[in-house]
Amino acid sequence: ARALRLILGDQLNPLHSWFEHPDPGVVHVLMEVRQETDYVLHHAQKILAIFAAMRDFARHLREAGHRVRYVAIDDPSNRQDMTQNLAALMAHYGARELSYQQPDEWRVSENLRTWGASQTFSVREVDSEHFYTSRDEVAEFFGPRRQWLMEAFYRHMRQRHGVLMDTSGAPMGGRWNFDHDNREPWQGTPLLPPDARPVHDHRGLWETVRQAGVQSFGNPQAGEFHWPLNRAQALAWLDHFIQSALPNFGAYEDAMSAGNPRLFHSQLSFALNTKMLHPDEVVRQAQAAYEAGHAPLAAVEGFIRQILGWREYVRGVYWAHMPGYETRNALGHARPLPAWFWTGQTTMRCMRDAIGNSLENAYAHHIQRLMVIGNFALLAGLDPGAVHQWYLGVYIDAFEWVELPNTVGMSQFADGGLLGTKPYVSSASYIDRMSDYCQACPYDRKQRTGDRACPFNALYWDFFARHQPLLQDNRRLAMVYQQWRKTPEHVQTALRDQAALTLSRLDDL
């Protein structure tokens, strides 16, 4: 063979220009390697989904007439390291040229770049042909500004790509953002859409992964595996989402309901982040649903903002701040994760449901991630690096470029406020308003002190009290600090004592 092309586990896009015409001089290489399974402790389903999707992709390429070399996790020739495998394969095929698509993760990008620079054959990086923006485009858009307002970037993207814009150049519906229509709790109606995802049996593959010694956590669900594993399945699932869930996505996008992990969310993030789907086709289909009168503007705009706005924006934040972003810790938080992050065994019903769901399905929707798990982690002062590793490992859609800014920046405020203008924290009242968790919880959402008090309440006030020097001048927190200052001193003391007691026994909550 003349050339090798490396395809990473999150580059499963059959529409990439690489695959336009089969070329017998080119061998496509996919590899299952411990380097990638072990950089963090992964949820079993994440490993399974990526391996199964990679295997499916290799099959698809072969059927389309391409040459493929698939290095399985238990292949005796597997050196379990990308560049070592590549070096051996280049020699084996006598190839003179290696290409790879731009990796989305800094770690892998650096690894390939530095190794490639010292090889005797030519090494070429090509575009992954997936994102709307290049790595540096968001940074260029904001220039020297200290705070990067997503909303400004999002409007720019709407205009530039002509999404939800009317012919006069104004946003459809006369507004850019309909979020105040989108904050409904869900109380059993409208009825939830059916789960029409394909079911796969991966018991054989799971046995192979275990035999290879790969460590993991969470329920593998190997016999009843629900994630779309190729473009055809992802397209069918996209279509089903648009038909059955998108019309209600907006109103209930922040709602939570015990035992109902999906509600009206798309769960398309795994298919998107592995590049089975292109973001623009998802955006255009959602827009078409609005234009056809099938879904309200508030739902469609809210959904599109996540993909056209937020997703591209966080990627730009990632590339502007790597390396180093993963160790940010503006609030100096250092507590280890309570043991129940790995078991779900806590009596706090919201945490039990959100973490239990994460362990069961390798998935939780954004409000469970942000306003339950992330909220608690921030209030309790958990080490943001450890929180980041947990999120990166547990969620099926978590690749560092998207997970890191969401966790360290948006959720844990560990970058000191680049993404979020204030920390995303709340006491029990927000969780109670948006969910049915508090109704059957052993803790009392109304109590702030005492054995039965919801831990979020005292922790909430303690968080603001202990970070007063850093946060009190934030204009968006003026009301919070005003309320704290008005709180009688003996109540302040009781709240802080309660918080100290809670923090001393996090494992037992």
Contacts with ligand DLZ by CB under 6 A lie at 8-10, 31-33, 36-37, 42, 47, 50, 103-105, 108, 399
Give me the least distance between CB of 267 and ligand DLZ, in Å please: 18
Q: What share of the chain is helix, strand, coil (3-state, %, to 5)?
A: 50, 5, 40
The count of other CB atoms within 10 Å of the CB of residue 342 is: 15
**Shortest distance (Å) from residue 475 CB to ligand DLZ:** 37
User: Is the Cβ of residue 32 or residue 415 nearer to ligand DLZ in the bound state?
Assistant: 32
| Nearer residue to ligand DLZ within complex by CB, 46 or 445 | 46
| Shortest spacing between CB 294 and ligand DLZ, in angstroms | 34
Residue with tokens 């493929």: 68
Distance CA 158, CA 302 (A): 13
**C-alpha distances out from residue 125 to 6, 8, 103, 110, 129, Å:** 10, 13, 9, 12, 12
Rounded to whole angstroms, the Cα distance separating 403 from 314 reads 9
Spell 244-262 as b/e; 16+ CB within 10 A means b: bbbbbbbbbbbbbbbeebb
**Phi, psi dihedral angles at 31 (to 5 degrees):** -145, 135
Please name the residue that has the structure tokens 């508090």: 438
Rounded to whole angstroms, the Cα distance separating 458 from 509 reads: 14
Work out how close the CB of 8 gets to ligand DLZ at its nearest, in angstroms, rounded to a whole number. Answer: 3
Give least dist CB 384 to ligand DLZ, A. 20
Nearest approach, Cβ of 431 to ligand DLZ (angstroms)? 31
User: Closer CB to ligand DLZ, residue 103 or residue 423?
Assistant: 103
Nearer to ligand DLZ, 33 or 320 (CB): 33
111 versus 244: smaller Cβ distance to ligand DLZ: 111
> Residue 216 or residue 426: which is nearer to ligand DLZ going by CB?
216
The two tokens of residue 264 are 């009206």
Q: How far is the CB of 420 from ligand DLZ (least distance, A)?
A: 24
Shortest distance, position 13 Cβ to ligand DLZ, whole Å: 12
Using alpha carbons, list the distances in angstroms from residue 46 to 116, 220, 259, 393, 411.
28, 9, 21, 8, 22
- Cβ proximity to ligand DLZ: between 104 and 353 the closer is 104
Measuring CA to CA, which residue among 385, 369, 370, 282 is closest to residue 335? 385
CA dihedral sign of residues 10, 14, 15, 17:
positive
* Residue nearer to ligand DLZ on the CB measure, 139 or 212: 212
Q: How many residues belong to the chain?
A: 509
Q: Which is nearer to ligand DLZ, 28 or 349 (CB)?
A: 28
Among 128, 138, 65, 135, smallest CA distance to 101 is for 128
Q: What is the CA radius of gyration of the chain?
A: 24
Residue 497 Cβ vs ligand DLZ, minimum distance, rounded to whole Å: 44
